[in-house]
Amino acid sequence: MIVGKYPSLRLRRNRKSSWTRKLVQENTLSPNDFILPIFLIDGVNKKQHIKSMPGVYRYSVDRIGQIIDKAISKGIPMVALFPNTKKSLKNELGSEALNENNLVCKASRMIKKKYKNQIGIMCDVALDPYTSHGHDGLIKSDKILNDETIQVLINQSLLQAEMGCDVLAPSDMMDGRIGKIRKAIDQNNFQDVQILSYAAKYASSFYGPFRDAVGSKSSLKGDKKTYQMDFRNSDEALREVALDIKEGADMVMVKPGMPYLDIIKSIKEKFKIPVFAYQVSGEYSLIENAIDKRFVNKDAVYESLVAFKRAGANAIVSYYADRIDKIIK
């Protein structure tokens, strides 16, 4: 509620110069707010451009050290690992997810051995990078199996924790998986491993470039609407978050980010839990292409990122994270 009236009250006075705008700004960005996604590929000494994501690359495990060094030097607290699994290693069961020598496991071991606790490691818990059908779960008679999938996710989580993962991030949207994973990792002496639940993950049109990056786009059969959320729903997101908190989630994710700022705000206000936002590949590529075509200027990047903080996000998964020092004003 505004107390006072014009002309004695002039809100423009606090906007008159750069120094006073800095003093009264309500939201700020720092490298501490960011998680840097890293895409992994097989091979040696590889850096492969992702055509649908300008300025983003896939790296072989032997080359991610340069990315980690850069992230640490910029003050980024955590990286998120996503594999581009070779087609020859994919099957209907996603068996490669349980291979201790898969890309995520090899990268996790390397990072933990070299960097210890200088930077956090977030691992995606889901089967879609490993299945021949591109879905996050097991399929029988064209139906995504919930409970059977959870058992595989438990084993995947245990393996990732053993390899050095600090934050498990189940993005599969199976009902009940957070509680089952929490119980399993606690029973196996991984009580300090955190769970970042993709609690409000929507069936969105903004995921295309990511699926291209991890190699699941061409293999995906059908859509994911039977397990990811309907973008027309908001109350449902609060129910999902409430259940995941009760089951043991330490943090929750909203994905995508910008079209769902209202969801971020609602979750933060209701639950007072750390809320992360994922500025997904489609959001990133739209902004980058608009800048490239000069439809908008580069300041749009900063504006889009501040919006997440204004909505209440504690941290942001963003492909801009490695350039954040040049973006922050």
So which residues are the catalytic ones?
201, 255
Nearest to 264 by CA among 202, 313, 307: 313
Beta-bridge partners for 138: 145
Whether the CB-CB separation of 220 and 190 falls below 8 Å is answered with: no
Rounded distance, CA 280 to CA 255, Å?
Answer: 7
Instruction: Extract the tokens encoding 236.
Output: 């449902």
222 residue type, one letter: G
83: CB partners within 8 A, 6+ apart = 39, 40, 41, 102, 103, 104, 129, 130, 214
CB 253 within 8 A of CB 279: no
